[in-house]
Chain A
Amino acid sequence: MASELENSIRSAAAKVAAYVADAAVMEVTTSYVVVGPTAGAETARPAAKTIIRLDGDCEATVPMREGPGGILEVDRGLFEIHQANVATATEYRARVLGALIGLLQRR
Chain B
Amino acid sequence: MNAVFTVIEPLPAAIAPPGPWRAQVVGSSFSLGDQPDVIWQAHLPADPAAAQAALRAAAAQLEAQEAALATVTQRLQRVASGAISFSSALPPAEQALLSMLPAIQPEGASFGLGDTLQEWWQAAQEQIAALSAQAREVLGGYATVETVQSGRLIGRTRINWHGDARSLLIAGIDPAHAALHQQTLALALRSRAGLLRLIGLVGRGAAIAATMVAAPAGAIMVLPAVWQFVQEVLAEVRQPMV
Contact = CB atoms under 8 A, between A and B. Distances in A.
A44 interface: yes
Given A4-B132, A92-B161, A99-B200, A84 B168 contact: no
A15 B238 CA distance: 32
Interface of A: 1-2, 4-5, 7-9, 11-12, 15, 26-37, 39, 42, 44, 77, 80-81, 84-85, 88-93, 95-96, 98-100, 102-103, 105-107
Given A28-B164, A85-B157, 9 more contacts: A1-B125, A26-B162, A29-B165, A32-B168, A34-B171, A88-B189, A89-B165, A99-B193, A107-B204
* Interface of A: prevailing SS: helix
Contacts of A107: 204, 207-208
B215 interface: no
A105 to B, nearest CB: 6
Nearest to B190: A95
A32 B167 contact: yes
Contact of B171 (A31, A42, A103): A42
A36 B27 CA distance: 31
B43 interface: no
